[in-house]
Structure 1
Amino acid sequence: MLVNDTVINKLLLSDWLECLTDYDWSEMSISMLLNLSDSQDVPHAVQLICIIIELCHLNNSTFSPQEQSTFAALCLLGDIFEALMLPYITPTMTLSQQITSLISFSHLVCALFLENSISFMSNQLYGDLQAMTKNAIFHVAKTQVLNPKLEVFFALFGDDMLKTLFGRIRMIGSHTPNCNIQVLGHRLSSARNLQNIFYHHPEWEKKPQRLQITRSRDVDHLSPHS
């Protein structure tokens, strides 16, 4: 990844992460942190991104000119990650703050992509990130037009609601999880009835353990009820 004429790779990050004294790297290996064996390990990726963001808070008063240049590039990368991550993992942010943060992310990424092209990130990743930002903003805009009184939650842009619905369908099926279209329709109807009941009586529902934000690794499962 090329940022401000600085190539940011695993080797560079490994050297700079050692400067973070708040972490006991004897317990958490930097090499393990930088090498994602599972590309779908979202908590691991979130942890790495949050640690990179913390590099911005290093004391740079003793850095050499070369280190200052590298530090500036890392700070810019940290700002990009922070603008992207915070709207999705910070429940205390207002909707306006979330949108502002995403717009900042979109403009920063656009500027760096125009400057460095695929040396910064791939075309596919850039398109996906901008589409994600656009969809979030369009969703808010459409909601304001349809019904300004409705609340919009960034946490619902994911697929946790779909996972919950699928779990209820499986539960209703009990020992016969497979079904045809007709049976699936009946189970969907029953699952929606359950959802309506739990909406009015949330204390009756036993929340799935992995869909609750009780640990730092659960930040990818935020919901309005977290």
Structure 2
Amino acid sequence: MDDGRITDGQGRVVDAKNCIVVMTSNLGAEYLSRNTAPDGKIDPTTKELVMNALRNYFLPEFLNRISSIVIFNRLTRREIRKIVDLRLSEIQKRLESNDKKITINASEEVKDYLGAAGYSPAYGARPLQRLIEKEILNRLAVLILRGAIKDGETANVVLEDGRVVVLPNHTDSEMEEDEDMLDDDDAMLELEDGTNGNMDLYE
């Protein structure tokens, strides 16, 4: 790193004299997935196992050039819940930026479910975004296409029998007849087959 250089996408050398370079790794994640204290803190034995995994993978010359190695504590339940709120808030802003005047109102039970199902000790909160897309965005997209939720309305999201449900605001009798209209189950299957379960409601 002393004699190396950083370049941008066009091959131009970047001056990194005043930069802090942050590198992340999943090495030792299998040890971090074990039970930890309720506050998410990692015990010294686990920290040493993670450090040994780093030493066994990287050359000493590389590790000696790193100023500091930080092992992050696991996320607590409260922190996961904050991430759920943040993700839902981001979705709301993206809807608004794409002229979708629809308010997402998720119940506390839904948020708790997303936090529990969307967090993995091995992968952290990364699966949460995919879970929200599958459980909320895809279902919301179907209801918008069917006219069951319209601009200016609120999309209420609840938990029923352990499943996330986006409630329609209009029944079939209130909507215009459409011979090609799919029911919810068929539409969800089509979405998942065509997009691997990830439909972008807002591009």
TM-score (norm 1): 0.28
Q: Which has the higher contact order (CA 8 A, sep 6+)?
A: 1
Return the structure number with greater helix share.
Answer: 1
TM-score (norm 2): 0.31
CA radius of gyration, larger in? 2
Return the structure number with greater strand share.
Answer: 2
